[in-house]
Structures are given as C-alpha cells and as structure tokens.
Structure 1
C-alpha cells in the first residue's frame, strides 16, 4: 500500500518521495529473481547513490517537530515517519467512537513465518497504536510494559485495521488495549500496554508518582 505524503515543503516532500521509492526498492529486493550479473550491476548503482546521499548527512533522523500548520509530526519515526524507509508509514487517525485506528497492509519485506508477518513487526505496530491511544486521551507516556497475544497468523498484502483505546489511568500510569484485525473484524493479534508519563513532562521532580 503506497501512501503519498505532502507537507507543502518542497525539500521534505522530495525526501518523503525518496523514502517511498526506497520502500519500493526494498520490496523489489525481497522479491527479485533476476540473475547474478543484474544483481551486481544494481548493487554498484546503489553504492554510487548511497555515496551521493552521504555527501551531506545528519547524525539523527528527521526530528519530532511542529509543522507550519501547528500540528506535530515526526517524519523520521520508525512506524509513522514518511521520511523513514523502514516505516509503512502508518497513518493513525482518531476513531469515531473513541480511541485511534489505522488502515494498513504489511509488505513481503515483513515476513516472519512463511506467508505471515513477523510477530515483532505486529508488536511494533500495536505498541505505537496503544501509545497513540493514550496520547489521544491527553496522557502521553513512554511504554512501560507490552503484552501481545497472537491469535492467528497476520498476512501481508492484505488490508487490515489496527485499533486501540485508552482504558484507565492511575497517576502517571495509563493503560491501553489494541488489536490488528481483518476487515470483517476477525482479530489476529491483540495487546495491552502500560504507559508511564515522565515526571519531567508534567513539570514534577524525580520523586513525583
């Protein structure tokens, strides 16, 4: 599933387009069956392209920042970052009934067991959704614990729906539940997570609970 991201900023749009092209390349590498000579030729071209990009480089990915329209964005995020080739990228939105949701489709690159998505990849998506659900409730925090139950193989190349909602809070601790399901509602993987809001985010000292 190709997702085009437009920021309205020419250089960032070009970077996001490059990241998407790299995702396409990664998928092609995972599935290619061309001969050895062609593989070697492509590798040489990639080495030259890599050198060109490294001519001017940062020490960290695109940062978490405030966009010109006032919204928060993290184009370098491993799950949602449009400028990060590792990301799907996942587009998370508020769910009409509360919580958050994201339509997604994994790629062959995410395979673990034959024909299915690696469990760690599913866990990463669920972790992010749970955190977003807590943030949507106004209680942003860092993951403290994450428990995942795999109920059925998660396929790649199939439209899926990930959802999550904040369930309760106690002081700086918040809990959330989420799941990855088929369009018909069949749950494939589900998770619960504990998120802790750092005292510094609340303006408190190190002993604040």
Structure 2
C-alpha cells in the first residue's frame, strides 16, 4: 500500500466542503417540489458547475494519506470519505478490537418508502466489520458478508452502528456487527469473513 505525504490541507478542506454541499444538493433533489421552470434553471446551473469541475480532474478518487493528527485517512472512500459526496461520511471510533459510530442516514438513502435501502445498510456494516478486523491486527478484504434485516432502518434519526472482531484462523478473520436505535433495538445485523491478502493492492494514484 502506498501512502502519500500529507497534502495541502486548505485544498482538502475545500474539497470536503464542496462534497458536503453536494450531499445537501442530493437531499434537496430527492425532496424538491419546485416548478418545472425552476428545475430547468437549476439543471442549467449544475451543468455549468459540472463543466467547471471537469476542467481539471483525477483518474481516481483520493486514496489513503496521513492526516495532520498522524492517523491514516481515506477521503475518497464511499463510506468515510469526507471528499466523497456519496459518503455520510461515517466517523468510526475504535475501542480495542471493536469499533462504533453514531450515524444518521439521509433522504437520498431511501429504499422502501420511509426506510433506508438495504444495500446502504450492508455497505455501512461491511466497512465497520472490516475496521474491526483491522483493529484486531487482521486487516483484509471482504470474502463474504451475511446480513440479517430485523426491522426497517429509518433515515433522518440518530442511530448506532458497531462491530467487533470475534475470531481468526490463519489469514481468515470474522467480525460481527449491527445497526441499532439509540436504545439498543437491533435493526440490522451482519457477519463478515475477511481474508488478509499476501500482497496488498497498491493504489495507482495518490
């Protein structure tokens, strides 16, 4: 794995602020009920903004780097990346071989009416399960993910997500996790199998 030296922070901050605004835009697009002329006007503005951003582009999203606090970060990640508009972004905290996060899904994550799409919940848990394996010194790639949906997951309300490493056999490692309400009611549960590769893939671009 190649890790870049810390980039210029003001630029990264600007990218994260842009991504945060795009998240607001996506939510607004999901919920808007303005008239057709206004939709057309906003579409034209966005087309212009898109062209301006494409004036200078990368081949891939941002890869791993070291933050000012000395920790590894991945601003282009689809789950935790502050510079990726698709990300919540999830802030993961570690406690030994376990990890946890407070989160709130957005309107753009809707699947069944009023509930979060099951694939979004699975993506969040896949990431946390992998983080738990890494916390135990067993970082690896997802080999299988088993998800059990207990109750509909609401968006727009505070929730808890957590995972812990449970066992390992050679290069294989297992983690278990869940998304719950604040009072501990289980909404989604998952078990993941991770395989530590003999050689880690190297990002093509920093």
Q: How many Å separate the matches in 1 of 2:63 and 2:171?
A: 25
Counterpart contact for 2:97–2:136, Cα < 8 Å: no
Aligned to 2:30: 30
Counterpart contact for 2:97–2:133, Cα < 8 Å: no
SS of residue paired to 2:199: helix
Q: How do 1:25-64 residues align onto structure 2 when only pairs under 5 Å count? A: 25-64=25-64
SS of residue paired to 1:199: coil
Aligned to 2:188: 189
Kindly report structure 1 stretches of 4+ aligned residues shifted beyond 4 Å: none
Q: How many Å separate the matches in 1 of 2:68 and 2:103?
A: 27
Q: How many Å separate the matches in 2 of 1:200 and 1:21?
A: 37
Determine whether 1:84 maps to 2:87: no
- Change in 2 beyond 3 A, CA 1:172/1:98: closer
- Change in 2 beyond 3 A, CA 1:163/1:8: farther
Q: How many Å separate the matches in 2 of 1:183 and 1:41?
A: 41
Number of residue pairs aligned between Structure 1 and Structure 2 = 194
SS of residue paired to 1:140: coil
Aligned to 2:110: 111
SS of residue paired to 2:113: coil
Aligned to 2:155: 156
Aligned to 2:167: 168
User: RMSD between aligned alpha carbons?
Assistant: 1.3
Q: How many Å separate the matches in 1 of 2:29 and 2:65?
A: 32
Aligned to 1:206: none
List per-residue Cα deviations over 1:117-173 (Å, max 9, x = no partner): 000000000000000000011110000000000000000011000000000000000
Q: How many Å separate the matches in 1 of 2:161 and 2:69?
A: 27
Determine whether 1:100 maps to 2:104: no
Residue 8 of structure 1 and its aligned partner are, at CA, apart by: 7.8
SS of residue paired to 1:200: coil
Question: Which has the higher relative contact order, 1 or 2, with Cα contacts under 8 A spaced 6 or more apart?
Answer: 2
Aligned to 1:207: none
Residue 66 of structure 1 and its aligned partner are, at CA, apart by: 2.3
SS of residue paired to 1:76: coil
- Change in 2 beyond 3 A, CA 1:111/1:81: same
Q: How many Å separate the matches in 2 of 1:70 and 1:200?
A: 24
Q: How many Å separate the matches in 2 of 1:198 and 1:131?
A: 13
TM-score when normalising by structure 1: 0.90
List per-residue Cα deviations over 1:68-104 (Å, max 9, x = no partner): 4431110000000000000000000013x75000100
